[in-house]
Amino acid sequence: MKTFKSIMSWVLPIVVGLLVAMVIRHFIFTMVRVDGPSMEPNLDDNERVAVVKTAKIQHLSVIVFNAYQVDPDARSKTVKYVKRVIGMPGDTVKSEDGRLYVNGKLVPQKFISQYERTQGTTNWDLSTLENRYSWNLKTTKVPKHSYFVLGDHRSVSNDSRYWGFVPANKVLGVVKVPFWDSNKTKRHNINSISY
């Protein structure tokens, strides 16, 4: 009996610790790795960031979502994309000469350079994108329970301009750059920007 109590005195805390970690990871936050250059200069390829599952999504929040059945080219059921929310449900979105307009108002984009805003991009609105890429949604606004997302480096980003909207039930959470990251500007551009 003494041996059993001795074993349980160290096994029980390990089991409880693992259960707490699983609950936190499943319901509160997890870590993900950024894959590719689409969020440069604010997030780099292979960078690890926190995803807060309980954070409220706002305009310009950076989110992680499961891209399977969102992007037709996403073949794996576990592929995750990191993008910035531009349009919320009910919003109109358009781009003219690298300037973004949501509901007719200019969106400040100080978090990226003129080059990242304009290089390789065209003028568009939701209707022209729908026609160009055959979304078959017949909408001029972001649908209910959906988001319109873009990468920060527009010329290399595979985003809502090509495959449409991200359903809210595919969103895993809001990206936060950890406090130990030494780049204060990057932390601000990911963690604090909204309009």
Q: What are the tens digits of pLDDT across the range 97-122?
A: 889 999 999 999 999 998 888 887 88
Residue 89 located in a structural domain? yes
The residue segments making up the domain with residue 112 are 31-191
Burial, 185: exposed, middle or buried (Cβ in 10 Å; 0-12, 13-18, 19+)? exposed
Residue 1 located in a structural domain? no
Distance of CA 123 to the CA centre of its chain: 23
Residues labelled catalytic: 38, 83
* Residue of higher predicted confidence among 119 and 80: 80
Buried b (16+ CB within 10 A) or exposed e, 63-74: bbbbbeebbeeb
Residue 13 located in a structural domain? no
Q: Peptide bond preceding 41: is omega within 30 degrees of 0, i.e. cis?
A: yes
User: What tokens does 188 get?
Assistant: 């601000």
Residue 170 located in a structural domain? yes
Residue 106 located in a structural domain? yes
Ordered DSSP codes for 133-178: HT-----SSPPTTEEEEE-SSGGG---HHHH-PEEGGGEEEEEE--
For residue 41, pLDDT over 60 is answered with: yes
- Output the pTM of the full model: 0.86
Q: What are the tens digits of pLDDT across the range 119-142?
A: 878 899 999 998 888 887 778 899
Residue 15 located in a structural domain? no
Residue 146 located in a structural domain? yes
Q: How many domains does the chain have?
A: 1
Residue 112 located in a structural domain? yes
CATH number at residue 53: 2.10.109.10
- Per DSSP, helices labelled H in the chain are 2-27, 114-118, 126-133, 160-163, 184-191
